[in-house]
């Protein structure tokens, strides 16, 4: 049986995926990390869990998170982020700036790339940098 929770694509396989495919996966990975982090923090109601999740898992917040982690990224990670950020998208929500939306797409592409690469340790490092900043505020 294939373990779809532990995908380990090699460099060549990762290179064949579009930035939007990486962002598609990364969006889910980041949201699951946020939901797990919030649930583990003792949030009592589903309403507060949902509200807090939405406050963190959105393009504007993700664009801010890029600023937190960008200086910590390796050359390969920065390349994946920029490739995702520069991807042409068909539409941008009306309430969203194009720059934030593109930055968020790059952020999600990075998280998808790390997940599919099987680098959970690095995902956790970057996520910890983000959550430490959230806790400070």
The token pair that represents 109 in the structure block: 């592409």
Report whether 75 contacts 84 (CB < 8 A): no
Q: Using the 8-state DSSP alphabet, how is residue 94 labeled?
A: T
Report whether 122 contacts 114 (CB < 8 A): yes
27 catalytic per annotation? yes
Q: Is 42 left (phi over 0), alpha (psi -120 to 50) or beta?
A: left
User: What count of other Cβ atoms lies within 10 Å of the Cβ of residue 114?
Assistant: 24
Catalytic residue among 27, 52, 100, 119: 27
Report whether 129 contacts 69 (CB < 8 A): yes
Report whether 107 contacts 62 (CB < 8 A): yes
Which active-site residues does the annotation give? 27
């Amino acid at each position: 049986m294939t373990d779809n929770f532990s995908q380990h694509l090699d460099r060549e396989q990762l290179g064949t995926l579009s930035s939007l495919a990486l962002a598609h996966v990364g969006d889910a990975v980041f949201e699951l990390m946020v939901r797990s982090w919030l649930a583990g923090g003792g949030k009592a109601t589903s309403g507060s869990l949902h509200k807090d999740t939405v406050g963190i898992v959105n393009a504007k917040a993700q664009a801010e998170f890029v600023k937190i982690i960008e200086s910590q990224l390796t050359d390969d990670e920065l390349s994946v982020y920029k490739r995702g950020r520069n991807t042409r998208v068909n539409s941008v929500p009306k309430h969203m700036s194009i720059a934030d939306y593109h930055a968020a797409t790059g952020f999600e592409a990075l998280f998808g790339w790390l997940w599919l690469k099987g680098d959970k340790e690095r995902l956790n490092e970057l996520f910890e940098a983000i959550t430490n900043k959230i806790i400070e505020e």
